Amino acid sequence: MTNTSVYHSENDQDAQLAEPQEFEASPPSPLVSALELPRTVSEAMSLVCSWSQLDRLPNGDGHPIMVLPGFMGGDDSTWFLRRFLIRHRYRALPWTLGTNTGEEEVQERLVRRVFRLIRTYREPITLIGQSLGGVFAREMARRFPNDIRQVVTLGSPFGATDAGSTNPMVLRLFEQLSGLSVDDMRAQMVHDADPTEPVGVPCTAIYSKTDGVVQWQTCLEHDTPLTENIEVIGSHTGMAFNPVIYALLTERLAQPLHEWKKFDRHSWPWISMLLPPARSAV
């Protein structure tokens, strides 16, 4: 089975659009998957060690940001990220829906939760979603395009069209707990829409080529004026604790409303030094 996607290609001069390419749907290598836990622990330790340095980053404008956890995660898994956002003057909001099992009921409750936040704050809300949370975040933006300021996904396989692109153990656990296959969940979430298509609001897809849970190619946005893909070095689970991602978020979230622009490595060399070299996403 092959997937077709458009990748965001970069070089040292500019960001360019790559030709559509096919890739074979396959899970991450056993070695990369086996190293997922120790790498996550390492990223969490790095966050603790760099916390005081991260405090020196500029504060934001106070707009509301909802953080959606990944599969089998809850608000406890995003506590550090929300705490970081609060310390930088954002209104960081938990999702309050318990463990993210991907079940139909969870998805329905999420729609109601986002709708209530929209009515409460009466200003566009940013959504940050890790893994499955990012898949859901994009669909909330598709449903409420006028009320979502931007979406940031962290290792979110919204481009997966085949179950073979996920770690088999994680896939089996998802099917058992949600009662849904990958195809069932996609059909339920987007109905007749193509979940790989851009959702109409600014979207930043942060991904890692050493993701140990999902095939990294499935985490990429089609290249449009409102989308971008940024590669980081790290694990899948550890993206909620990766200090480089925290620094990157500071820059992405600080953009004025309705003035979103793609990340410019030349304008932010100190962040770019912490990222892999700009290269084609192939």
Residue 53, both tokens: 């340095």
Average pLDDT over residues 23-35: 81
Predicted local confidence at residue 4, as pLDDT = 41
Beta bridge partner(s), residue 231: 207
Q: What is the mean pLDDT of the chain?
A: 84
Would the pLDDT of 141 be above 60? yes
Would the pLDDT of 17 be above 50? no
Residue pointed to by tokens 């509301």: 64
Pairing of strands 15-17, 8-10: antiparallel
Average pLDDT over residues 80-85: 96
Cα separation, 42 vs 53, whole angstroms: 17
Would the pLDDT of 61 be above 90? yes
Average pLDDT over residues 84-109: 92
Predicted local confidence at residue 182, as pLDDT = 63
CA distances, 102 to each of 55, 57, 90, 105, 185 (Å) = 34, 34, 27, 8, 8
Cα separation, 127 vs 145, whole angstroms: 12
Domains in the chain: ranges and CATH: 2-7+22-272 (3.40.50.1820)
pTM of the model: 0.87
Would the pLDDT of 102 be above 90? no
Amino acid identity for residue 135 in this structure: V
Neighbouring CB atoms inside 10 A of 263's CB total: 19
